[in-house]
Every structure is written in structure tokens, then in C-alpha cells.
Amino acid sequence: MLVAPLFLSQGYFTRTVIPKRLAGRQYRYNGKTILPHPFAARWMERQVAAWLDGFTNRQGSDRLEGEQA
């Protein structure tokens, strides 16, 4: 059986629920989560920057022809 839980942070589910649901089965589970990880923070920064860049560019194109900011 392959189980690949994807959690952002450790907590009740990663420490309790997942191990209980896997009880009685042969598995390996380390309980690691995505955060904290420096690459996750960098990815989020890039996503926000891209969104802001797109938002800024869209605002200019939403103006009516001849309309000034």
C-alpha cells in the first residue's frame, strides 16, 4: 500500500489520525510535512509576486479607452 499524505504542518492528524488509520498494515511513515521548509516560503513569495504583477498589469487594462489613472 502506498500512502502519500500531504500536510502543510504537523499536528493532530500527522501524529495521531494517520498512524491510527495505518495500524495493522505494513507501512513506513515519517510524519514529515511541507512546512517549515525554506523552499516552501520561496515558492509562496514567487506566487504572490506573480499574482501582484498580474494584478497590477490587469488594473491598467481595465480602464476604458482614453481614461486616465
CA dihedral 36, 7, 18, 5 (to 10 degrees): -120
12 CB-near residues (< 8 Å, 6+ apart): none
* Predicted pLDDT at 19: 93
pTM higher than 0.85: no
| pLDDT tens by residue, the chain, 69 residues | 777 888 888 999 999 999 999 999 998 888 888 887 888 888 889 999 999 988 777 665 555 555 555
